[in-house]
Each structure stands twice: as structure tokens, then as C-alpha cells.
Amino acid sequence: MSPGNGRPRGAKAPTSFAELVERPSEWLSGGGPRAELVLSTRVRLARNLDTVPFTHRARDEQLQGVLSSVANAAERSAAFKDGLLLRMTELPALDRQILVERHLVSHELGDGARPRGIMIAPDQRLSLMINEEDHLRLQAMASGFQLAEAWTLADGADDELDQALDFAFSEEIGYLTSCPTNAGTGLRASLLVHLPALVLLEEIQKVLKSVMQMGLNVRGYYGEHSEVMGNLFQVSNQTTLGRSERESIEMLERVTRQVLEQEERAREKMMRDARVQVEDKVWRAYGNLRYCRTIHVRDVINLCSAVRLGVALGLPGLCPLHVVNELLVLAQPAHLQRRYGADLTPAERNVYRAQLVRERLEAAERETRSGD
């Protein structure tokens, strides 16, 4: 990928929700290896405290206890030093939704109904959901294809938490989780990959099928089965028993590399056979985003996919990757409402969304010009 696509990292740790949302998520930074094909890497570990019933069977007082002991352990760990603890019951619905849109918090955690929380490390690469489906859901996120790094980060934080907490574990089955699909390693490693050429050349179903035959899980990231938006797919390990964490991760890495090779070959073919049509599609998408006056979030996701492809193909004059990455989150409803007012109708949101998208692209153009 071309240098300068990645956004420089912010250094200071956020101390409040307001500061946190001012900062773009690290996983959107457009940096890291293979960032032109892989948006982000995520590694999640599920853990439970041995003596407390799993979240859905525990009483609120018990969950309160879990929240404080886990938060306490995290605060004393090096991994979460100076981290930010947010209690879901203390956050208004809009703020919780913002965390969901940033992929820091799951829908389940975001309901705000029970004593749940999230601990976020200063650089936002590590986070810890407390009292989600499992008592602990430790999550490491990174931009680009960085499975080994994300695993090391999660593994290290898990070791530290393990020193202070008594995790539910059995010799035979491993880490015990609320749902038996996670029992064993409790690991879910996933890669968010961009496969526009395979979709365009109608080879995607075949590729996805072969990925699933390898025992991995793959799904469209935005939207359901037939109408995947933005050509973004999440590939993850399926099973958590019978394989070590490293084996699971290596297998995910190996299979995903093959998928990326196929995508690259498809891109080459596309550029060889229909260069003008591809460039036309990319630039029309850019023009739509740059000059729209009302736009639905679905269109932002789809048009950004075309622009992203153009950036990856090295077409000159487009914006850096992190700009299109960030739009995927900033154009979501809760982020828009925080910026422009909480009681917007969907039609008004579309107008403000168009304004935001135009402004971001214009700013990126200005930056590019001044950098020349």
C-alpha cells in the first residue's frame, strides 16, 4: 500500500466518554499490513468467574460484584493502566449506541438494563466488556492484517487478569462459557476483509463456500446474506475446542491469505479487461460522495467500498484509506445524532450525513493539496 494512507496515532489517554468519541478508533486508522485489503483484525477471549452464575442467570447484585472485581483487576493491570471504565447504567442510550457503532460494545451490552460495563485501554486497541454473554469479553483490535499482534495483546492482558481473578476452567473442556459454542479457548479471531473484485466478478460465493469448508465462519459485515453492503466480509474461526489458540489463528491466517490472493487476482483481471469501467465506477462513487445533498447510510457504505477499491488500486487523487474507513462509523445514526442533534428524523439525518461526508472529503482534498 502507498505510504501515508495510515493516520498518525493519538497519544493521550481519553479520560471521559466525550474525549473518547472525539478520537477516531485505532482500528479505522488505515494502517497496518495489507490495509488495502484488510480493514481490521479482532481477537476476542471469553472468560467467566468461577463462583458466579453466568450473566443471564446471575442476580443484579452478583453482576454488580463481577463488575467491580473485574474493573478492579483491570485497573491494576499494565494492559488497562489509565483505562476508561464506562458503566452502561450511567450512560444515556445515545452514548451506548455510539459505543456499539464503534464496535467497542455489543448490542447485548449496549442495552443498558443491567450492571454491565466496558473498560477501554488508553490507545483503544484493548477493551474489556464486563457482564456481556460471558462475564468477561476481552477484545484486541488492530488496523490491517495483524493477527499475531492482536493475539499477543489479548493473551498478555488475559494473563494479567488471570492473576487476579478466578476464571471458570476445566482441564477437559478448557474455559467454560455461557454458550457451548465458545467453550475451550473462548477465542474468536476475525478479520474484516474487503472483496469488491470477487463480488464484481461473481466469484464470491465459490470463495466463501471454500472458506466455510475449511471450518471457518464467514459472513457479510453489513447487511444480510444476499445483500451484503460495502463488499466487506468478516472471516473468523468457528470452533474453540480441539485446537490451540495459535493453531486456530494460524489456520485463519492461512485461509484468509488464500482469499486475499484470489481477490488480488480478480482485481488484476478486472483492471486488465475493464480498466476504464472500473475507474469510471470509482470516480462516480467519489463524485457522489463528494457532492451529495442527501444520502442513506447504505449508500455511504457501498460508495465508500468503490472509493476504497480505487485507493487500493493506486488511482491518484482519491482520499487516504482512513477517511473512507472512518466514514463507515461516522455516518452511522448515533454518531450523526451526537454531532447534529438527538431528535433528527431519518430524512434530516440523510441531509446532515451528506454534509458530513462532503466536509470530510473536502478536508482530505485540502490536506492532500497542502501536502503536495
- What are the residues binding other proteins (CB under 8 A)? 48, 50, 52-54, 56-57, 69, 133, 155, 158-159, 162-176, 178-181, 183-185, 187, 212-213, 215, 217, 238-245, 247
15 vs 244, beta carbon nearer other proteins: 244
Q: In which region does residue 144 sit, left (phi positive, over 0), alpha (psi from -120 to 50) or beta (all else)?
A: left
- Taking the complex as a whole, the smallest distance from the CB of residue 215 to other proteins amounts, in Å, to 8
Residues paired with residue 126 on neighbouring β-strands, in sequence order:
140
29 vs 182, beta carbon nearer other proteins: 182
DSSP string, 62-108: HHHHHHHHHHHHHHTSSTTTT-EEEEGGGS-HHHHHHHHHTTSS-TT
- Taking the complex as a whole, the smallest distance from the CB of residue 324 to other proteins amounts, in Å, to 29
Q: 138 is written with which cell numbers?
A: 476481552
213 vs 226, beta carbon nearer other proteins: 213
169 vs 340, beta carbon nearer other proteins: 169
- Taking the complex as a whole, the smallest distance from the CB of residue 35 to other proteins amounts, in Å, to 28
- Taking the complex as a whole, the smallest distance from the CB of residue 129 to other proteins amounts, in Å, to 16
- Taking the complex as a whole, the smallest distance from the CB of residue 212 to other proteins amounts, in Å, to 7
- Taking the complex as a whole, the smallest distance from the CB of residue 298 to other proteins amounts, in Å, to 24
54 vs 283, beta carbon nearer other proteins: 54
2 vs 170, beta carbon nearer other proteins: 170
Contact call for residues 169 and 176 (beta carbons, < 8 A): yes
